Every structure is written in structure tokens, then in C-alpha cells.
């Protein structure tokens, strides 16, 4: 377990899907994901983000519970500039013993 995980207590993992006008397909396939990736790295969580063919953004976040909760809030309320978030679904939220990822990145 990393020093960050030891210092922060329980590790959490959660899957997410964001619905709304996400300003993603027309401008650039990478547009909202760069902001999600930046926010995740700023908070120190790991995982991934991906645009779906249905026009949603999906992914997984892992890290200390407090930081995962901060990322969940960002995904629900803030998002990328010019986006309008209608709803965010979270699923498979669980405590984990170790991180499955070493970084946060965009999947294609």
C-alpha cells in the first residue's frame, strides 16, 4: 500500500457515468476528458475516463475515500467548461485493499 493510502485510511473504488450536454463530440473527442484527467491528477486519484457512443462519459475512480468523494462531487456538479451535467450515476462503490491503476488516463 502506498504512503498516500496509509495516511488517508480506506481506499475506495467507484464506477461512474455522466449524462448531459457534455460538449464532447462536436468540439473534440478529447475535450471533456482532459479536464476530468486534470482534476483527477490534482486530487491524486487514479483510474480512467472514456467518451461513449451514447454521448455520455464513463470511467472509474480509485483512491483514498475522501479524495474519491471529492472527485464524485466534481463529476456531479462541475465537469468540463461549457458542459451541463444532467445526472451522474455511480455504481460498484466499494472498499479496496490496493489500487488497480498507477495513474489516471483517457481511454479511447
CATH code: domain of residue 95: 3.30.70.100
State the residue range of the domain holding 102.
11-106
| pLDDT per residue as tens digits for the range 5-62 | 444 579 999 999 988 875 444 434 444 577 888 999 999 999 999 888 888 889 999 9
Please give the residue that has the higher pLDDT: either 105 or 82: 105
Helix axis angle, 65-77 relative to 31-43, nearest 10°?
150
Please list the residues that pair with 61 across neighbouring strands.
14, 47
- What domain count does the chain have? 1
In this structure, what is the dihedral angle of CA atoms 64, 69, 71, 72, given to the nearest 10 degrees?
140
- The residues, ordered by sequence, that sit 6+ positions from 89 with a Cβ below 8 Å of its Cβ are 16, 17, 19
Question: Does any domain span residue 3?
Answer: no
Please give the residue that has the higher pLDDT: either 106 or 92: 92
Please give the residue that has the higher pLDDT: either 85 or 73: 73
pLDDT band at 1 (very low <50, low <70, confident <90, very high): very low
Question: Does any domain span residue 83?
Answer: yes
Please give the residue that has the higher pLDDT: either 15 or 85: 15
Amino acid at each position: 500500500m502506498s504512503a498516500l493510502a496509509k495516511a488517508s485510511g480506506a481506499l475506495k473504488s467507484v464506477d461512474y457515468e455522466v449524462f448531459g450536454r457534455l460538449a464532447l463530440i462536436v468540439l473534440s473527442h478529447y475535450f471533456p476528458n482532459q479536464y476530468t484527467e486534470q482534476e483527477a491528477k490534482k486530487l491524486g486519484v487514479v483510474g480512467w475516463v472514456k467518451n461513449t457512443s451514447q454521448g455520455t462519459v464513463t470511467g472509474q475512480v480509485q483512491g483514498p475515500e475522501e479524495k474519491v468523494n471529492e472527485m464524485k462531487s466534481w463529476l456531479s456538479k462541475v465537469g468540463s467548461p461549457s458542459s451541463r451535467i444532467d445526472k451522474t450515476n455511480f455504481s460498484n462503490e466499494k472498499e479496496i485493499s490496493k489500487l488497480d491503476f498507477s495513474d489516471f488516463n483517457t481511454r479511447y
